Amino acid sequence: MSRRIVCPRCREGDALRVSPQSPRELVASLIWMVPFQCQQCHHRFLARRMNTAGPSHSIDRREHLRIPVKLCLSFSGGKVRGEGTVMDLSLGGCIIKSDTHVHLDDIFYLEIVIAEHEPPVEVAAMVRSVSARGIAFKFLRKAQENKRLLTFIQSHSGSTSSILTKAVAPSITG
């Protein structure tokens, strides 16, 4: 049903529709052009809106594509420790199911088990929301800075972009 929008910079088909942020993007929306942001290289660009249904078409406000997963995790911060299951994962954060009580803007150290016989991936994250769906965390450092997490996300999203690979510096620990 929906067509994949290809980024004019990196030629990947992982662009998501985003909200207008500049006067140029607002004016363009009047002539059936809408802003998109590439999930791979983060380039913002305009493309023709194919849906003529108008505002009923939902805008994805996320910066990164979510990947549904079921991964074990433990987390700690201050006096709070908890365990849970990662339900979806992206380059920018994750959503987990956990019975642990947390507050908005709490910062935690997450340990996500992505492979059974390997040490967990360690990331710092901030609580962005708490709802019936789960606890939404935003990573404090981009996933591109953690080679193991980046590799896992790439392998599960079907993306083999060389742009992301180039973004991973040799000095990265992870």
Query: Do 55 and 30 meet the contact criterion of CB atoms below 8 Å apart?
Result: no
- Residue 123: predicted pLDDT: 92
Residue 12: count of CB within 10 angstroms of its CB: 21
d(CA 8, CA 160): 17
Structure confidence by residue, pLDDT tens digits, 49-100: 665 444 444 444 556 678 889 999 999 998 999 999 999 998 889 999 999 9
Choosing from 61, 88, 106, the residue where a domain stops is: 61
Domain stops at, among 11, 42, 61: 61
Q: Binning pLDDT at 50, 70 and 90, where does residue 159 land?
A: very low
Q: Where are the alpha helices (DSSP H) in 38-161?
A: 147-157
**Does the pLDDT value for residue 142 go beyond 60?**
yes
pLDDT band, residue 127 (cuts 50/70/90): very high
Are 10 and 3 contacting, i.e. CB atoms less than 8 angstroms apart? no
Q: Is there a single domain that holds both residue 103 and residue 138?
A: yes
Domain end position, chosen among 16, 43, 61: 61
pTM (2 d.p.): 0.58
Q: What are phi and psi of 65, to 5 degrees?
A: -70, 135
In this prediction, residue 130 has a pLDDT band, given cuts at 50, 70 and 90, of: very high
What is the DSSP-derived secondary structure letter of residue 106?
-
On whether both 159 and 77 belong to a single domain, the answer is yes
> What distance in Å separates the CA atoms of residue 128 and residue 88, rounded to the nearest whole number?
14
